[in-house]
Amino acid sequence: MLPILSDLQAPATLLLVPAVLCILYSKWQYRKRSSGCPLPPGPRGWPIIGNALDIPLESMAPAYARWAKHYGSDIVSANALGTTLVVIDKYDTAIELLEKRATKYSSRAKSVMAVDLMGYDSFILGPYSDEWKAQRKLFVRYFRPNGGVHIAQEYEVVHRLLLDLNDVPGEVYGLVRHMVGSLAISLAYGLPVQRRRDELVELIDSIARMVGEQLVPGKAIVDVLPWLRHIPDWMPGMGFKRFAKSVRWMATKFRMEGYERALKAFGTEGVRPSFLSDALASLDNVDAVKDSEARHKALGDILNVASTVFGAASDTTTDAILIFLFALATHPDVRKRVQNELDTFLTDRNEFGKRTLRLPTFEDQDNLPFLMAAIMESQRWAPVAPTGVPHSTTEDDVYGGYFIPKGSVVIPNHWSMLNDEGEYGADALDFNPDRFVRPKSGEGEHGIEINPDIRNPSTITFGFGRRVCPGSHIAQSSLWLAAACLLTVFDFEAPHTERPRYVTSEGKVNPRFDAGFLCVPKEFKCEFKVRSEEAKVLLAELGMSV
């Protein structure tokens, strides 16, 4: 017996020894890389699948916040089938990692489904690379924070929204979506857009939504197990590959449709200066891009940035406006206080002693602090992207004694930072704009101003570091103008029959959201009524000029 056993054992030992050596070497390497530091705390995983069963796919932000509380740590981690997820729970930690250590924390994990299989190409999803830098630079060069290129179009789309809502008061959801989509098309391509319904806006919007759905973490199995992309399409379970193939043409349409229509329309009536016209004009002026290869590359960057404007602006800004409207429709006391402030400032008497009303403009912003506080509170109470857009690391790092390996997916928990009781008070879960104002000296009993000592939610909701949202000024001004104009002209309140849908058993209003990556208020009924005779006159005058 003995000689036979040893015959079998010899080759097995030959294989076993290098395997064990490999494991020991990689453990040693890992120990060296991590300087012996553990990963941030988190739920204990299982062999092979790690924390695949613990990672929340719905209401992610509060679930991650509970982890942070449970482990008493500003950062927690989990293992998603081999990829380390690191969730940042506190603002100061987000600044330390995503801003101060931006050289390591500014990339993105690849979305195999949306980018490789469906062919959607946007610098929002791109890794930290020269291509990303070139496209972001193009974007920022045209949409400079103080450049104001968006202002005229914002007035136009918001004023149209007022008229359209007056015509169809029950369609606020669709009309706000259309308003933001029109703005994006106008800014990117300069194309005129039809009132209420426009075929190009609808086409691009439906493609953007379909791609957006694939970006919900965990939705596309191939993003969790990237090797699945190499399995042939006909194998069982590969339906996602067949689906991606069947919709690939849409990504090309998304990128090309606006561009081709704009090229045909340049110089015709109603076409506006836009990102596209500006970028194409500068392309013609640069000697370095005269040769055809460089020109082709530069044109590709321009097309990507132009289509990114719609993808980045539409869902986010629509949701921000709808969240604001939901907050005020369910908190009528706040709505009335904002309207009092607007009335005081915008009503006057004409030469015959008759009361007149005018629409708010951006020049009025500093004089309407309570409106600003209500907007800030809506962004804090129900942030559009509760878990931000994940970054990924390009180098190993150690923070607070914890090891954060290269290739980690880093999730800033915006929702948790915006509900930090240390910053916003014990009632952080409530909708209460007063937390952002303080008495203004020398302005009597009712004078208020924004309290600069309370952290402005916009320092969180638009993300961090080198990937911070470069369109935040456009989002903020569109939201402000839409909020100010709607409240000047309309009264709106969620009817009592709707209350059971959003009021909890403790009598608190809960924002009701569709689960997913973005926070979308579930559709609720809300009646819009013109507030006064002066507002009716205002709408009639507006109807003649728009």
Query: Two tokens at 411?
Result: 């999730």
Instruction: Choose the stretch contacting ligand HEM; rule: CB under 6 A; options: 109-117, 232-240, 348-356, 387-395.
Output: 387-395
Q: How far is the CB of 79 from ligand HEM (least distance, A)?
A: 22
Q: Measured from the CB atom, is 76 or 469 closer to ligand HEM?
A: 469
Name, in order, each residue with C-beta under 8 angstroms of 287's C-beta and a sequence gap of 6 or more: none
Angle at which helices 332-346 and 369-381 cross, to 10°: 150
Q: How far is the CB of 515 from ligand HEM (least distance, A)?
A: 18
Question: Of 172, 244, 385, 411, which one interacts with ligand HEM (CB under 6 A)?
Answer: 385
Rounded Cα distance, 473 and 479, in Å: 10
- 55 is a site residue for ligand HEM (CB under 6 A): no
- 468 is a site residue for ligand HEM (CB under 6 A): yes
Question: Of 60, 105, 113, 136, which one interacts with ligand HEM (CB under 6 A)?
Answer: 136
Query: Two tokens at 200?
Result: 């190009």
Q: How far is the CB of 8 from ligand HEM (least distance, A)?
A: 56
- 528 is a site residue for ligand HEM (CB under 6 A): no
Instruction: Choose the stretch contacting ligand HEM; rule: CB under 6 A; options: 234-242, 267-275, 290-298, 385-393.
Output: 385-393
Angle at which helices 292-329 and 275-285 cross, to 10°: 160
Q: How far is CA 490 from the centre of its chain?
A: 28
Rounded Cα distance, 309 and 189, in Å: 10
Residue 278: helix, strand or coil by DSSP? Answer: helix
Q: Measured from the CB atom, is 108 or 160 closer to ligand HEM?
A: 108
Q: How far is the CB of 517 from ligand HEM (least distance, A)?
A: 10
Q: How far is the CB of 309 from ligand HEM (least distance, A)?
A: 5
Question: Of 217, 471, 516, 521, which one interacts with ligand HEM (CB under 6 A)?
Answer: 471
Instruction: Choose the stretch contacting ligand HEM; rule: CB under 6 A; options: 159-167, 211-219, 380-388, 433-441.
Output: 380-388
Instruction: Choose the stretch contacting ligand HEM; rule: CB under 6 A; options: 23-31, 267-275, 421-429, 458-466.
Output: 458-466
Pick from 213, 483, 217: nearest CA to 374:
483
- β-pairing, 83-88 vs 409-412, is parallel
- Residue type at position 533: E
Per the listing, tokens 């209500």 go with 374
Question: Of 384, 409, 483, 526, which one interacts with ligand HEM (CB under 6 A)?
Answer: 384
- 389 is a site residue for ligand HEM (CB under 6 A): yes
Question: Of 50, 369, 433, 470, which one interacts with ligand HEM (CB under 6 A)?
Answer: 470
Question: Of 339, 408, 461, 488, which one interacts with ligand HEM (CB under 6 A)?
Answer: 461
287 secondary structure, DSSP code: G
Q: How far is the CB of 259 from ligand HEM (least distance, A)?
A: 17
* 526 labelled ligand-binding: no
Per the listing, tokens 């000697």 go with 287
- 139 is a site residue for ligand HEM (CB under 6 A): yes
Question: Of 61, 86, 113, 124, which one interacts with ligand HEM (CB under 6 A)?
Answer: 124
Q: How far is the CB of 122 from ligand HEM (least distance, A)?
A: 8
Instruction: Choose the stretch contacting ligand HEM; rule: CB under 6 A; options: 251-259, 272-280, 382-390, 399-407.
Output: 382-390
Query: Two tokens at 221?
Result: 């199995």
- β-pairing, 490-493 vs 513-514, is unpaired
Q: How far is the CB of 333 from ligand HEM (least distance, A)?
A: 25
Q: Kind and range of the H or E element at 450?
A: strand 448-450
Q: Kind and range of the H or E element at 225?
A: none
Query: Two tokens at 17?
Result: 């020894």
Q: How far is the CB of 374 from ligand HEM (least distance, A)?
A: 15
Instruction: Choose the stretch contacting ligand HEM; rule: CB under 6 A; options: 215-223, 225-233, 466-474, 527-535.
Output: 466-474
Pick from 185, 138, 144, 184: nearest CA to 302:
138
Q: Measured from the CB atom, is 240 or 436 closer to ligand HEM?
A: 436
Q: Measured from the CB atom, is 73 or 308 closer to ligand HEM?
A: 308
- 86 is a site residue for ligand HEM (CB under 6 A): no
Q: b vs e for 278-314, b when ≥16 Cβ sit within 10 Å of the residue's Cβ?
A: bbbeebeeeeebeeeeeeeebeebbbbbbbbbbbbbb
Question: Of 159, 178, 331, 467, which one interacts with ligand HEM (CB under 6 A)?
Answer: 467
Question: Of 91, 464, 502, 517, which one interacts with ligand HEM (CB under 6 A)?
Answer: 464
Size of the site for ligand HEM (CB under 6 A): 27
Rounded Cα distance, 238 and 185, in Å: 35
Q: How far is the CB of 372 from ligand HEM (least distance, A)?
A: 15
Rounded Cα distance, 299 and 263, in Å: 13
Q: Which 306-345 positions form the footprint of ligand HEM (CB under 6 A)?
A: 308-309, 312-313, 316-317, 320
Greatest alpha-carbon pair distance for the chain in Å reads 118
Q: Measured from the CB atom, is 471 or 516 closer to ligand HEM?
A: 471
- Cβ atoms of residues 111 and 223 within 8 Å: yes
Q: Is 151 exposed, middle or buried (0-12, 13-18, 19+ CB in 10 A)?
A: middle
- Residue type at position 444: G
97 secondary structure, DSSP code: I
Q: Measured from the CB atom, is 113 or 479 closer to ligand HEM?
A: 479
Q: Is 430 exposed, middle or buried (0-12, 13-18, 19+ CB in 10 A)?
A: middle
Annotated binding-site members: 469
Annotated binding-site members for heme: 469
- Positions touching ligand HEM (CB under 6 A) are 123-124, 136, 139, 308-309, 312-313, 316-317, 320, 384-385, 388-389, 391, 461-464, 467-471, 474-475
